[in-house]
Amino acid sequence: MPNHVRIRVHHHAPNLPFKRLNLMLGGLFSAALMPIEMSFASSLTFDLNAFSSELTPSVDVSRFNTSNFMSPGTYRVDVVVNGQPMGRRDVNFESRDEKAGALPCFSQEMLEQLGIAMDKVDTLAASGKTAASVLRAEGDSPFCANLGQWIPMASSSFDAGALELSVSVPQVYMKQARRGDVDPANWDEGIEAGLLSYNFSTSAMTSGEGDNRTYLGLNGGINLGQWRLRHQGAQAWNSSGGMQTYQSTATYLQRSIAPWQSQLTIGDSFSSGQILEGVRVRGITLATDERMLPQSQQGYAPQVRGVAQSNATVTVSQNGYTIYETTVAPGPFLISDLYATGYGGDLVVSVTEVDGRRNTFVVPYSVAPQLLRADATKYTATFGRVQQRNVDDSDALVLQGTLQQGLTDDVTLYGGSTFSDGYGQGKMGVAMSTSVGAFSLDGSGSRTHVQNQGVMSGQSFGLGYNKNLPSSGTHFALGAYRFSSKGYLSLPDAINVRALGRHGSDIDGYARQKSRLDLTLNQKLGDGTLSLYGSSVDFWGKQQGRQTSFTVGYGSTWNKVNWNLSAQRSRIQDTRQLTDHELSDEVFFGRFGNQGNIDNRVMLTLSMPLGSERNSPSLNASISRGTGDNRGSQQQVGINGLAGEHAEGNYGVSVNRTTSDSERSSDINVYAGYRANATNVRAGYGQTRDSSQLSFSADGAVVAHAGGVTLSQSLGEAAALVHVPDAEGAMLSASSTRIDSRGYAVVPSLRAFQNNVVGVDPEGMSLDVELQESERTVVPTLGAVTLVKFETVSGRSAVVKALREKGGPLPFAAQVFDEQGREVGVVGQASKAVVRGIADEGTLIVKWGEKSDERCEIHYRLPTRIVGQRQSATDYVQGDCVSVLVRHVAGQP
């Protein structure tokens, strides 16, 4: 028995498809117990002398000498050009040399789609300098050869194991495409499907006083061809106020218009607030969608950061609408998955603690300088009726439009206009890039007719600045300084003021901004970073005053300890003073500045890992001291961490102690969460001296399609429905989601209009199933559910060992067929073959030549298996391979 095999691998194909080769050799690697030596040479060959005791001269092993041997036919393969994925295409393979296998064929149409400048190639062919004239002579007929034969220094290679065709072409022969460009011809509108994403949270007091609260946020819709029907809404309930009115945030019909790189939206939605103030409109909107551009040419919902002192409920509102609510663990939190409802309008964030205290703060958002690339254009156009919360007669017709135009790489003009009943507004601005930073400067004017009050008119001027100094580690942004005269009103303010005028109310009591300054500064200082985030706003109107909030901090790392020292000014809102509806009114009508107490607080936070393992827990501690209206100190210490092979579990426990002039209290909070196959769940418990609370939250999605209903994580802007027949238990690559019993799973949060790689890891699925491919590239449009099918071969697999009638081994590399004539394996060493896709019992035909005495049959019966049982180990059977001549002599049929 030989104890050594030498395999030489082509040096241009390092990604040799060993899985496919292993199956072809029927267990050369898995069934044979011997080491393998690999070296790089010009081709893959087998040292036949190593198998002299097992090899029959008539056995043809030449088919194994080419690692990428392909039979003629049409295959669906991934195409990569100069390292950039170009999607999946049907490519025809034709044979010019039977021993070398079939070669991929290129048509002129395909080459043009791949970005090759055919006019440059034609010019080269006309000059007669290269073999490019061959292609020209053949016209539209396919060209089956390596591209280097007719384009200098070009090449093409095919990886049969990965089904990937790689093309390399010098840039001089390529079209001048933008990096990351995706041909709209490759966009996938997806399948017809019903979608529903949900976000559920509930909290219940088990002792003491306080509200029991429940919130259900929904974002659902239906996909029909290129059209997307979407609805976003929420239902809230609390024990003091009962069931709240269902809030419909947005309901609209939408589709992409590729030639215009735009989205058409019909229904209730939000107008863009990037240049003019955004409002909720029932009507029609046409707007540029930057996601259709290559990534290199490409805005935004702000992130919400804060600190919870217990298992708190966080509610995010914009323009009076609750757009998000969830429960969070004690300590710092980050919300970065808000649905985009427009760029305009501050976010009002309320953090409701276990004991009923509510910390309310505003997340300012100011538009960065409006610079565009040279010749780039962005626009929005909206027409409809305004739908403004808490204003019964706010459904005035409105026409709003904005335009941005990049004149050069350094100068962009932008502006917009709004026309509505009794209201007009215009805005013009310029953004410039200079050596000292990027500036934006704009001016606006408005004119508002107020019933019984006459006409209000005024101006507003804004200045923005942004500068990044990598050499000094400085990022400075004057998000905006804006000053508005007393008569200037934005559209939302104008609607409210006109409503007050119709009701005979005093419009001078309505707060409207006089000036505003937003500042962001990050400075690398020593081993850490100094950061400052601040906002200061004052108002026109009676007794409104100025609102100022800021956070300044310095953080660094010492050994394994991360620390941060910060000072913060915010506003504390007592929930016992205002109901949710009253709080919404206060925010919406501009009276928020008079409510609550000021909290000035200094805080030191520390965190460090407790171990070096991947899922080791972390220790977190903080100490804070309040001044002013909320004098006192607070200390908190806790442990949190991740659990599970894929970090699907999370947990934490914390203890908090508060001391003030009037009281001393302590509380404990524990929580545990789990990221399941199709949902995220979290449960928590909080205990204070006077009260205790249980909380629970869950989020996920449901996709209804022709194949049934599949559960999923929250979907995002696009998703893929993966169908892998009979592959239950297989895992989606780079996630913990597994294929369900019907062969389906959902890949959420794909990037719309961009290349996305969807892969399947066979780990966990039955050994009776073989994946024919493991990766696909898809380009979904906005909101699409793209169906991605992975071909599989199902059937029982086994290691079969059989000897010939005289006790000799079967010839090495002999082919094994089933009774239908399908090749199911190849004989490897030790007279063993790994076969796949065979029946529970039957006959296998082993063939090593064309003569009748160069074949034999193995009659087998596999072990009985329980119905529905998934195979986790390969069956092993042993028998004899009976010669066909012997069988006939014996009188067998």
Angle at 779 between CA 775 and CA 785, to 5 degrees: 90
In this prediction, residue 171 carries a pLDDT of 66
Say how far apart CA 736 and CA 204 lie, in whole Å.
31
- Our count of domains for the chain comes to 3
Q: Say what percent of the chain tops pLDDT 90.
A: 26
Say how far apart CA 677 and CA 664 lie, in whole Å.
44
**pLDDT band at residue 141 under the 50/70/90 scheme:** low
Instruction: Note the Cα 154 to chain centre separation in Å.
Output: 35
Say how far apart CA 339 and CA 349 lie, in whole Å.
15
In a domain, 859, yes or no: yes
452-461: pLDDT as tens digits: 888 999 999 9
In a domain, 202, yes or no: no
In this prediction, residue 9 carries a pLDDT of 30
In this prediction, residue 593 carries a pLDDT of 41
Tokens read off for 464: 């923005």
In this prediction, residue 583 carries a pLDDT of 39
Tokens read off for 619: 């220790």
What mean pLDDT is predicted for residues 151-160? 80
Q: Specify the 3-state DSSP secondary structure of 29.
A: coil
Sign, CA dihedral 174-177-178-184, equals: negative
| pTM score above 0.85 | no
More confident residue, 659 or 126: 659
For 710, half-sphere exposure in the C-beta direction (CA atoms, 13 angstrom radius) is: 29
Say how far apart CA 325 and CA 331 lie, in whole Å.
17
Say how far apart CA 482 and CA 188 lie, in whole Å.
44
Say how far apart CA 834 and CA 357 lie, in whole Å.
67
Structural contact between residues 404 and 377, judged by C-beta atoms closer than 8 angstroms: yes
In this prediction, residue 341 carries a pLDDT of 53
Distances (CA, A) of 856 to 86, 152, 805, 842, 875: 48, 52, 9, 14, 22
Q: Say what percent of the chain tops pLDDT 70.
A: 76
Asked if residue 150 has pLDDT above 80, the reply is no
509-546: pLDDT as tens digits: 788 888 988 888 888 888 888 988 888 888 886 556 67
Pairing outcome for strands 411-420 and 304-308? unpaired
For 106, the domain range is 70-173
Task: Give start and end residues of each alpha helix (H) in 718-783.
Answer: none
**pLDDT band at residue 825 under the 50/70/90 scheme:** confident
In a domain, 230, yes or no: no
Mean pLDDT lowest for which of 147-161, 435-449, 575-589, 874-888? 575-589
In a domain, 428, yes or no: no
What mean pLDDT is predicted for residues 444-472? 85
Mean pLDDT lowest for which of 160-164, 320-324, 365-369, 575-579? 575-579
Residues 6+ apart with CB under 8 A from 79: 85, 86, 87, 88, 89, 91, 114, 164, 165, 167
**pLDDT band at residue 720 under the 50/70/90 scheme:** very high
Structural contact between residues 465 and 366, judged by C-beta atoms closer than 8 angstroms: no
Least Cα distance to 390 among 529, 584, 236 occurs for 584
Structural contact between residues 814 and 827, judged by C-beta atoms closer than 8 angstroms: yes
Residues 6+ apart with CB under 8 A from 804: 810, 856, 880, 881, 883
In this prediction, residue 545 carries a pLDDT of 67
Asked if residue 641 has pLDDT above 70, the reply is yes
**What CATH code is carried by the domain that includes residue 130?**
3.10.20.410
What mean pLDDT is predicted for residues 841-856? 88
What mean pLDDT is predicted for residues 681-686? 93
More confident residue, 806 or 629: 806
171-205: pLDDT as tens digits: 677 776 665 677 788 899 999 999 999 999 999 88
In a domain, 837, yes or no: yes
Among 332, 363, 394, the domain-final residue is 363
Asked if residue 653 has pLDDT above 90, the reply is yes
Among 141, 173, 205, the domain-final residue is 173
Asked if residue 652 has pLDDT above 90, the reply is yes
Asked if residue 219 has pLDDT above 90, the reply is yes
Phi, psi of 192 (to 5 degrees): -75, 130
Distances (CA, A) of 451 to 306, 494, 495: 42, 12, 12
In this prediction, residue 629 carries a pLDDT of 61
Angle at 430 between CA 429 and CA 435, to 5 degrees: 150
**pLDDT band at residue 267 under the 50/70/90 scheme:** very high
Structural contact between residues 10 and 31, judged by C-beta atoms closer than 8 angstroms: no
**What CATH code is carried by the domain that includes residue 348?**
2.60.40.3110
DSSP summary character for residue 246: P
What mean pLDDT is predicted for residues 831-856? 87
101-133: pLDDT as tens digits: 678 888 777 887 777 877 776 665 555 544 444
What mean pLDDT is predicted for residues 659-688? 88
Asked if residue 405 has pLDDT above 50, the reply is yes
In this prediction, residue 438 carries a pLDDT of 78
Asked if residue 23 has pLDDT above 70, the reply is no
Q: Specify the 3-state DSSP secondary structure of 277.
A: coil
Among 173, 204, 236, the domain-final residue is 173
What mean pLDDT is predicted for residues 247-262? 92
**What CATH code is carried by the domain that includes residue 811?**
2.60.40.2070
Say how far apart CA 548 and CA 537 lie, in whole Å.
6
Say how far apart CA 250 and CA 835 lie, in whole Å.
56
Asked if residue 599 has pLDDT above 90, the reply is no
In this prediction, residue 185 carries a pLDDT of 81
In this prediction, residue 588 carries a pLDDT of 41
Say how far apart CA 201 and CA 235 lie, in whole Å.
11
In a domain, 818, yes or no: yes
Say how far apart CA 395 and CA 384 lie, in whole Å.
9
**pLDDT band at residue 98 under the 50/70/90 scheme:** low
In this prediction, residue 59 carries a pLDDT of 58
Tokens read off for 528: 């850490």
In a domain, 786, yes or no: no
Average pLDDT, the chain: 78
Asked if residue 14 has pLDDT above 50, the reply is no
In this prediction, residue 25 carries a pLDDT of 40
In this prediction, residue 255 carries a pLDDT of 94
Residues 6+ apart with CB under 8 A from 487: 446, 448, 456, 457, 458
**pLDDT band at residue 672 under the 50/70/90 scheme:** very high
Structural contact between residues 516 and 480, judged by C-beta atoms closer than 8 angstroms: yes
**pLDDT band at residue 427 under the 50/70/90 scheme:** very high
**pLDDT band at residue 867 under the 50/70/90 scheme:** low
Residues 6+ apart with CB under 8 A from 280: 250, 268, 269, 270, 271, 319, 321, 386, 387, 388, 389
Say how far apart CA 683 and CA 236 lie, in whole Å.
19
Asked if residue 286 has pLDDT above 70, the reply is yes
* Best mean pLDDT range from 282-296, 456-470, 709-723: 709-723
Asked if residue 892 has pLDDT above 70, the reply is no
In a domain, 776, yes or no: no
Tokens read off for 413: 């003009």
